[in-house]
Amino acid sequence: MAAGTLSAQKLYSEKHIDYVKKLDSRKDELEYWLTEHLRLNGVYWGLTALHLLGCPDGLPREDAINFVLSCQRENGGFGAAPGHDAHMLYTVSAIQILVILDAVDELEKRGLGGKQKVGSFIAGLQDQNTGSFMGDEWGELDTRFLYGALNALSLLNLLDLVDVTKAIAYVQKCENLDGGYGICPGAESHAGQVFTCVGALAIAGRLDLVDKDRLGSWLSERQLDNGGLNGRPEKLEDACYSWWVGASLAMIDKLHWIDGSKLAAFILRCQDPEAGGFADRPGHAVDVFHTHFAVAGLSLLKFEGIDEVDPVYCMPKAIIRKIFSA
């Protein structure tokens, strides 16, 4: 099955909900077993997509919590699946899932050392010299990890475990002359990294550091004539950039600088109207990653029938509001 086989300008919500709910029954698909290293991310993507599509109870709550807890390691962090080493990216997904399920207290009840232990794991990955964050003990640096750290720690109300000022100074060093941000200082601007850098600044309350006109200009230039967005100049469009670019624009209040209806039409062309799910671009095979980011992209555009997403956390807005008003 491929996306975009019908000229659909309609959202096939029920199909997408079914697609996500039935992911575990697609065992006969060859590439499926290769994605164990993304398992915890996959649960987050699927769960968020279900929430935004108005089906918050689509996954059995207790099962999901059990799975998350089964991925936790002695050091407090989470691996992608049981038995995998702890890593920043999966730890962030674990916290996001628990927050969405309103189950953070399960960390105290059944987790290893409560939320404090998770916070310590994340804090231990901050590089004291530069303020940046590693993904794991092996020291790979990437602004994705820095954003992830601030995301999860703020959700746990544990931001004071890290040096936020230093982290923000590092993000500033990743800003390029075109207004965008790269994976590390001096690296080419990339919309995915822009999202992580702007998201980190948003969490730290330092969006004042962004050159909004310049960045907004660069981000809006990512829209192609077919309505889709790319991640860098002269690259192809991809439905997931609807999120990376769109959320970044939303955070700096410039989402109206792109043509929203053209983007929505492009995203809808990426859906598979029969089997459900979204692909990276029309005619390609669907997957849960692109399904999540396509639905989130439509949500940013206030598409009818989709719940509101929070552009900083990429989680249902109502849940984010609730947790930060508590």
Residue 178 beta carbon to other proteins: minimum distance, rounded to whole angstroms: 5
Q: Which residues contact 161 (CB under 8 A, 6 or more apart)?
A: 119, 120, 122, 123, 153
Residue 265 beta carbon to other proteins: minimum distance, rounded to whole angstroms: 12
Ramachandran class of 271: left when φ > 0, alpha when ψ lies in -120 to 50, beta otherwise: beta
Residue 159 beta carbon to other proteins: minimum distance, rounded to whole angstroms: 23
Residue 291 beta carbon to other proteins: minimum distance, rounded to whole angstroms: 12
In terms of DSSP H, where are the helices of the chain?
13-21, 39-52, 61-70, 88-100, 106-109, 114-123, 143-155, 164-173, 191-203, 212-220, 241-251, 260-269, 288-300, 317-325
Over the range 305-326, which residues count as b (16 or more CB within 10 Å of their CB) and which as e?
ebbebbbbbbbbbebbeebeee
Residue 117 beta carbon to other proteins: minimum distance, rounded to whole angstroms: 20
Residue 80 beta carbon to other proteins: minimum distance, rounded to whole angstroms: 8
**Residue among 259 and 307 whose Cβ is closer to other proteins:** 259
**Residue among 108 and 140 whose Cβ is closer to other proteins:** 140
**Residue among 120 and 217 whose Cβ is closer to other proteins:** 217
**Residue among 216 and 273 whose Cβ is closer to other proteins:** 216
What is the distance between the alpha carbons of residues 163 and 152, in angstroms, rounded to a whole number? 15
Inter-residue contact 235 to 245 (CB < 8 Å) = no
Among 319, 325, 324, 323, which residue's Cα sits nearest to residue 50? 319
Tell me which residue has tokens 């050159």.
211
Residue 259 beta carbon to other proteins: minimum distance, rounded to whole angstroms: 5
**Residue among 163 and 259 whose Cβ is closer to other proteins:** 259
**Residue among 221 and 307 whose Cβ is closer to other proteins:** 221
Residue 175 beta carbon to other proteins: minimum distance, rounded to whole angstroms: 6
Q: What HEC string does 92-143 produce?
A: HHHHHHHHHCCCCCHHHHCCCCHHHHHHHHHHCCECCCCCCEECCCCCCECH
**Residue among 5 and 259 whose Cβ is closer to other proteins:** 259
**Residue among 154 and 297 whose Cβ is closer to other proteins:** 297
Joined together, the tokens standing for residue 297 give 């992209």
